[in-house]
Amino acid sequence: MTATSIKPAKLADAIAEHLQQLILEGTLQAGERLLPERELSTKLDVSRPSLREGIAKLVQRGLLTTDAQGVAHVSDQVGHTLRDPLMLLMDDPDARIDCMEFRSVVEAAAAGYAAERASEVDRTLIGEHFQAMIAAHALGDVEAIARWDAEFHFAIYEASHNLLMLHFMRSLETMLRSNVYLNRRNLFEHRASPESQLDEHRAIHDAIMARDAEAARAAAQAHMMSTLRTQRLIQESERRQAASIRRLAHKDLVAPQRGRARH
């Protein structure tokens, strides 16, 4: 039997539960295509009829869909009802601030749990993402910094081993990645010392690696509150600039005044 094989009393039910768990913890994500039936049955060490029945159960639950060839995909509707309306809000600067306030609470909790629960695989992944962030900083590559910043935070969600938290944050992944990118771009361009962002991430990384849950929570919250303060200053500056531009444009919108008539 392989490490991923299943030998349950009710095989189809166990297959369904196994795949469902992978979807709920974010290992299998919306839109991803599963292996063809023959390969997947071999991978799981189960019969093809049992696999087919297990997949049918997940199709019925709305977690999987099948194409014309019978190949299963993770449903695009996983997290759909939560994700799409919130994505529309990300065009609003105030909503982006709200997102950061929300993250300050959730990420502090996730970092604390990760410090307590992270496996060696989790710790390796967090470390690799942090090293990639350092390399991106050295190059001044804002796109790469933002990408690895997001990967670092999602690795911490995974390392929390709280399935509800992970599934909820995965359902918001596009919005969160957008929020991280906008934050990083603004901070890199406006902060006097872009390295301060790296130092804040290092504090989170080091606390998780030391398995110091209290320090990890404090470091994650300090990072988010620092980012939030800076973003608010940037937003206020941009609003003042926009108001100035509107005043300058006034003369292009209003007819020139003529001399007042004499009485």
Three-state DSSP class for residue 37 = helix
Which CATH number goes with the domain that contains 62? 1.10.10.10
pLDDT for residue 253 is more than 60: no
**Mean pLDDT, the chain, integer:** 79
Same domain as 66, residue 105: no
Task: Evaluate the CA torsion angle 86, 115, 104, 125 in order and state its sign.
Answer: negative
Mean pLDDT of 146-175: 85
pLDDT 10s digits, 108-120: 999 999 999 999 9
Three-state DSSP class for residue 33 = strand
Task: Establish if 249 belongs to a structural domain.
Answer: no
E-assigned strands of 5-135?
Answer: 64-66, 72-74
pLDDT for residue 190 is more than 60: no
Task: Establish if 259 belongs to a structural domain.
Answer: no
Give pLDDT, residue 204.
98
pLDDT for residue 243 is more than 50: yes
- Identity of the highest mean pLDDT range in 7-21, 130-144, 231-245: 130-144
- Give the structural domain span for 43: 11-74
Same domain as 158, residue 93: yes
Same domain as 50, residue 101: no
Same domain as 87, residue 46: no
Same domain as 158, residue 34: no
Give pLDDT, residue 175.
66
Mean pLDDT of 8-29: 78
Cα–Cα distance for residue pair 67/240, rounded to 1 Å: 53
Task: Establish if 134 belongs to a structural domain.
Answer: yes
Domain endpoint, select from 47, 74, 101: 74
pTM for the model: 0.60
Same domain as 210, residue 122: yes
